[in-house]
Amino acid sequence: MRRVQIEDIYDYRYVSAPALSPDGKKIAFVISHPDKETNSHFSDLFIYEDGKQRQLTQSHDVKTVLWLDDETLMFPSMRNEKDKNAVKAGEPLTVFYSLSLKGGDPRECLRLPLKVGSIKKLADGSFVCLAKSDFSGEGDLGWEVFEELPFWHDGGTYSSKVRDRLYIVKDGKADPVTGEREQVNCVNVCGNDVVFVSHDYEGVMGNASGVALYKDGKRIQLVKDSDELRCRWAGFWNGKPIAALSDCKKFGMLQIPEVYLLGEGEPRLLFANDELIGSGVLCDSAFGSGEKTAWDGEYFYYTTAEDTSAVLRRFGPGGLETLVKTGGTIDYITVAGGRIVCSRVGETVLSELYEIRDGAFVPLTCLNEKMNTEREISAPVPLTAVNDGFEIHGFVLKPAGYEEGKTYPAVMDVHGGPFTAYGSAYYHEMQVWASRGYFVFFCDPRGSEGRGAAFGDIRGIYGTIDYSDLMAFTDKVLETYPMIDKERLGVTGGSYGGFMTNWIIGHTDRFHAAASQRCIANWITFFGTSDIGPTFGLDQCAGDPWNDTEKLWDHSPLKYAKNIKTPTMFIHSDRDYRCWMVEGLQMLSAIRLNGVDTRLCLFHNESHGLGRNGLPENKIRRIREISDWFDKYLK
């Protein structure tokens, strides 16, 4: 069998946006794949029915789909050059096409002079959509005016006086439901009812949010838009609006919300399970979008993370129950006609479409069978370390072609977040390193998701107990696998993992090469340059740059850069406004002044999510940069 190669991503197929027809008999879904010739991702619409799949589009730009009825689909697409050129020129335009499964070509059915982000169908045949709205009055000029916080969003979008606004679309015309200063973060429908989460602000966007219901042409405020409650999500259960709410008093903005029934006086608690609605474990081998919540009659479904596993739960008359639990991912779900379908990535298999029956995943597609059967894939081996009385759960990948008696280098990979979780799902970058002869190990230190809010709370103490947990897990790996050469250890990670990589090399010399990706180096500069700096930074640092300067500096890796002796490279993107490139540049400058070998690879026009949704060539170059760096110093 051939070992996994960096360029194998060109052979990967990704399933997303699964959608069951209203009667539950057909499944529409999107298959995406990287295209080498155009350096882009092709995405097309497919249908699965009676045990067979067939392709419906070949325009390569279909990313989402919705059912108009049991035989008709609708999707956004740009199918003529005039429309494509208009969008390239900055004109707000979204064109939708309908396609009958009884035959015929896609036909244009809706044209909106808006940049639509999502659209849902109402029972009366009208639609509700989210679209960008700019009330700055500046237009598309050769400059940008910054007047609000945040002034930009990750990916290169400027956001001063720009909102995601809710519209009702009827007879081809879109009428706004929300105000021009109101940011809508979530919208769901049930029949003709629309529930949405929004925050009306001017100048500075806070952590507040409210919940409203649009019903019979009127807006009904269900939860006041204030600092008293923060809503992360709203939807429906048994035809009634529900929302995930928290007061943020105990664990700050990352406090896990509880689910409440709305619209019958004061919000009434339905259930609380100390877990996030619509989350899961991390993976770099999924692509696209879709739904992570669903409802069908008297049941409400959601994905979440439980320790290092992804789970699907259901709330109904019998309370909360677990339908399925996996070491892989559960990416997107759809429910209709008594059926549950999802897209997922397994522990050693790539993305496929599955039906969930009797607590098991039943595969419906075999898109990646060749990759799954013809590559030597290293299975994740669970490992637990104990530190300060806490179990720290993680995994180890053995090198491809492992031989007893040999010694090997190893790489520790630290996840982002920090309130996210590693599981045992297939990770392309980790499989690449295993194929190149490395042990790879990774874990969920305190600060991670999946074990409740208290375990995940590291506000104001970044770099302390989490660092201790990572070092304890490293010790356990070396104890369990003595064939790992202690003098050939590498460390990498992105976002929070980049912060922690920077922190680690400033506090220990045990790692002999490092690759810090989309990192945080300085909490003071992060506060004023990140799109989440004034909210996330203030909350997670438990202080601000004026009153708590020393505290923020004490927890900034840059303070300890003078100690760094580890050869370190940096990966950054110039449209990453979550962790702007100034963070990596500060560390690069400090390390170079130490006389230590360093390098920064800056990717143009990429966002914080380069490793997951970047252009194929850039994703490949990113992994090659890291791999070559490790090879240089660890082999």
Residue-level pLDDT at 228: 75
Report the number of distinct structural domains present in the chain.
2
Report the sign of the C-alpha dihedral through residues 53, 54, 59, 60, in that order: positive
DSSP state of 537: I
436 and 578, same domain (yes or no) = yes
φ/ψ region of 307 (left if φ > 0, alpha if ψ in -120 to 50, else beta) reads left
| Residue 250 counted as domain residue | no
Q: Domain ends where: 371, 399, 423?
A: 371
Tokens 């619209």 label which residue? 263
- Output phi, psi for 71, to 5 deg: -125, 0
21 and 57, same domain (yes or no) = yes
- Output phi, psi for 562, to 5 deg: -65, -20
> The tokens of 409 are what?
């280098």
* H/E segment holding residue 97: strand 94-100
Quote the domain boundaries for residue 109: 2-180+273-371
| Residue 187 counted as domain residue | no
Residue 619, domain CATH: 3.40.50.1820
The answer to whether 270 and 315 are in contact (CB under 8 A) is yes
325 and 408, same domain (yes or no) = no
φ/ψ region of 490 (left if φ > 0, alpha if ψ in -120 to 50, else beta) reads beta
User: Using CA atoms, how far apart are residues 91 and 82, in angstroms rounded to an integer?
Assistant: 11
Q: Domain ends where: 371, 394, 425?
A: 371
| Residue 223 counted as domain residue | no
| Residue 389 counted as domain residue | yes
Residue-level pLDDT at 139: 67
500 and 570, same domain (yes or no) = yes
User: Using CA atoms, how far apart are residues 194 and 234, in angstroms rounded to an integer?
Assistant: 10
361 and 492, same domain (yes or no) = no
Residue 396: closest CA among 380, 409, 416: 380
Collapsing DSSP to helix, strand or coil, 374 comes out as helix
Which residues of the chain have a pLDDT value below 70?
139-140
The answer to whether 272 and 313 are in contact (CB under 8 A) is no
478 and 356, same domain (yes or no) = no
151 and 295, same domain (yes or no) = yes
User: Using CA atoms, how far apart are residues 358 and 361, in angstroms rounded to an integer?
Assistant: 9
Residue-level pLDDT at 350: 97
Residue-level pLDDT at 206: 87
CB-side neighbour CA atoms (13 Å) of 163: 24
User: Using CA atoms, how far apart are residues 248 and 255, in angstroms rounded to an integer?
Assistant: 5
The answer to whether 325 and 309 are in contact (CB under 8 A) is yes
Neighbouring-strand partners of residue 609: none
User: Using CA atoms, how far apart are residues 624 and 8, in angstroms rounded to an integer?
Assistant: 12
31 and 77, same domain (yes or no) = yes
User: Using CA atoms, how far apart are residues 135 and 120, in angstroms rounded to an integer?
Assistant: 24
| Residue 293 counted as domain residue | yes
333 and 437, same domain (yes or no) = no
Collapsing DSSP to helix, strand or coil, 268 comes out as strand
- Give the gyration radius of the chain's Cα atoms: 24
The answer to whether 361 and 368 are in contact (CB under 8 A) is no
The answer to whether the pTM exceeds 0.95 is: yes
349 and 319, same domain (yes or no) = yes
The pLDDT tens digits of the residues spanning 300-335 come to 999 999 999 999 999 999 999 999 999 999 999 999
Residue 299: closest CA among 359, 259, 239: 239
365 and 406, same domain (yes or no) = no
| Residue 34 counted as domain residue | yes
Q: Domain ends where: 344, 371, 398?
A: 371
Longest CA pairwise span in the chain (Å): 73
**Through-space distance between the first and last CA atoms of the chain, rounded to whole angstroms:** 24
| Residue 234 counted as domain residue | no
The answer to whether 520 and 498 are in contact (CB under 8 A) is yes
| Residue 558 counted as domain residue | yes
Class of residue 309 by CB neighbours under 10 A (exposed 0-12, middle 13-18, buried 19+): buried
Residue-level pLDDT at 297: 86
Residue 121, domain CATH: 2.130.10
Query: Residues with Cβ < 8 Å from 7, sequence gap 6 or more?
Result: 620
User: Using CA atoms, how far apart are residues 404 and 413, in angstroms rounded to an integer?
Assistant: 24
465 and 546, same domain (yes or no) = yes
